[in-house]
Amino acid sequence: MDARPIGIFDSGLGGLTTVREVRRLLPGEELVYFGDTGRVPYGSRSRDTIIKYARQDVAFLRQFDLKAVIIACGTVSTTALDILCQENSLPVLGVVAPAAQTAARRTRSGRIGLIGTQATIRSGAYERHIAQVRPDAQVFAQACPLFVPLVENGRTRPGDVVIETVAAEYLAPLKQAQVDTLVLGCTHYPLLEAVIRSSMGPQVELVSAGAEGARAAAELLRRSDALAPQDAPGGLKCYVSDQVADFSRLASLFLGWDVAGQVEHVDIDRY
Amino acid sequence: MDARPIGIFDSGLGGLTTVREVRRLLPGEELVYFGDTGRVPYGSRSRDTIIKYARQDVAFLRQFDLKAVIIACGTVSTTALDILCQENSLPVLGVVAPAAQTAARRTRSGRIGLIGTQATIRSGAYERHIAQVRPDAQVFAQACPLFVPLVENGRTRPGDVVIETVAAEYLAPLKQAQVDTLVLGCTHYPLLEAVIRSSMGPQVELVSAGAEGARAAAELLRRSDALAPQDAPGGLKCYVSDQVADFSRLASLFLGWDVAGQVEHVDIDRY
């Protein structure tokens, strides 16, 4: 049993889809979330910059006495997980290995699609993890650089010609490759599930990296007897590097509940 | 006569459209450009964060012995110009006043459209400057938050259904208001000129804030006898806060010439 909080971070709002999943699986846990809204997006930046920002994010979260850190960001998970694990003495959990394992187990044809940010696709991290479980699988990867700005501007609805056109362009090579499983490698993408599902067709199984990461983190805590006491009320405290009000307004879209009064500002470049 | 360089900065690549104009008007000047590519975009961030970033940008540029600083960023010009002027002992020039004056002079009907980032529209800076020149003018303002990510992803061509649809949505209220002059209040927008022109129609005059800012800076230097010597060769040195290679590749699109070898990385949060 371990009553200490779990730290969770992302470049901005996307990681809240993972927070939602962790809350659903482990309602008694205390969660401390950091969203780097002053520097979002990460996915179009270079490896060095992503590593620098991720180190600062973890350094801030470690101000709290945490039992684990979940990287609720596809870009950081694919680009900086090894470095963060080496540099920190507590468990640092990403979304790649859990999502890659699930995709590799579920595919029937061995043809797996992967969508993510430019940094995620460039990293090759999913290909490596999938090959470990299923060496014969083929991964068809596609960067979707406009998905994050479109989601953050609320263009998520099926029928919107802008998101439909962009999604059709990005997904065409994956449809042509006849993948039967598609990894949503960025924690913003669950908000595009309806658009992606209608473009790919009902026969393609979607695997959400953020949800798989949450599930794997819950399993690890359970196995290592590090869950919060059963009667703990649980809670969520959020920190952001840009304005609190802007975050609070959009956060409900990702979380499904209101976080007003639970959000504070932090000067992330001091860490 | 003043042979010292001019500092120019922007959140990222957009300001290079202003650099191009300065080079055209004043080919003998030494220019030092800073693009905050590690933290772009600015336009969707809060006022406090924009001011903090702008202060760091100017602090970095002032490492050089400059004769003036041009804010080649619509967002910083509307949000932080006063503060930067107060805090610095050299001329700091924005794009708002020159563009507002040109628009106020050119409009016949007194109905002026303004497009820019969320921060630019929120600031109300254009309305204040236009009212000084032409108190009877009406300004119709529209934030275009998706234009910067679309430009940075190369979606600038007429006929592209994505940029055409987004532009038509943003510009519809301005067409309905029958503006006869439209201020492009962000230095990224000149790359969308063809799309905007075809949506607004040939009767609407476009005023580019970046180009007007460059023209006003050239005039000021000429009037104060601070131009470089006539036979000076001129030059451009660029600094960026993310990776040099990514910037160099895209910069040619904005500049129209190659900057490879003239770009260096800088750790902007040390300033």
- Asked if B186 is an active-site residue, the reply is yes
Mutate to test the interface with A, among B11, B13, B37, B39 (most CBs of A within 10 A): B39
**Residue whose C-alpha is closest to residue A262's, from A231, A233, A237, A240:** A237
Percent of chain A predicted with pLDDT > 70? 100
Q: Which CATH number fits domain A6-94+212-270: 2.60.40.10, 3.20.20.20, 3.40.50.1860, 3.40.190.10?
A: 3.40.50.1860
Residue pLDDT, tens place only, B7-39:
999 999 999 999 999 999 999 999 999 999 999
CATH 3.40.50.1860 assigned to B96-209:
yes
The answer, yes or no, to whether residue A41 has pLDDT greater than 90, is yes
| Average confidence (pLDDT) over A87-98 | 97
Percent of chain B predicted with pLDDT > 90? 91
Per annotation, catalytic residue among B73, B85, B144, B238:
B73
On whether any CB of chain A is under 8 Å from the CB of B48, the answer is yes
Q: Which residues of A touch B242 (CB under 8 A)?
A: 45-46, 49
**Residue given tokens 């609407």 in the structure block:** B204
**How many other C-beta atoms are found inside a 10 Å radius of the C-beta of residue B142?**
18
Residue pLDDT, tens place only, B153-194:
889 999 999 999 999 999 999 999 999 999 999 999 999 999
| Average confidence (pLDDT) over B51-56 | 98
On whether any CB of chain B is under 8 Å from the CB of A242, the answer is yes
The answer, yes or no, to whether residue B246 has pLDDT greater than 90, is no
Encoded tokens for A37: 């809204």
DSSP letter at B116 equals E
Residue pLDDT, tens place only, A145-174:
999 999 988 899 999 999 999 999 999 999
Encoded tokens for A171: 């997904």
Residue ranges of the domains in chain B?
Answer: 6-94+212-270, 96-209
The answer, yes or no, to whether residue B119 has pLDDT greater than 80, is yes
Which residue from B48, B153, B246 is facing A145, i.e. has the nearest CB? B153
Q: What is the ipTM of this complex?
A: 0.91
Is residue B167 helix, strand or coil? Answer: helix
Chain mean pLDDT for chain B: 96
Residue pLDDT, tens place only, A225-242:
999 998 999 999 999 999
Which residue from A39, A45, A166 is facing B162, i.e. has the nearest CB? A166
Residue pLDDT, tens place only, A94-142:
999 999 999 999 999 999 999 999 999 999 999 999 999 999 999 999 9
Domains B6-94+212-270 and B96-209 share a fold: yes
Mutate to test the interface with B, among A11, A44, A79, A155 (most CBs of B within 10 A): A44
Q: Is the pTM of this model over 0.80?
A: yes
| Average confidence (pLDDT) over A37-51 | 95
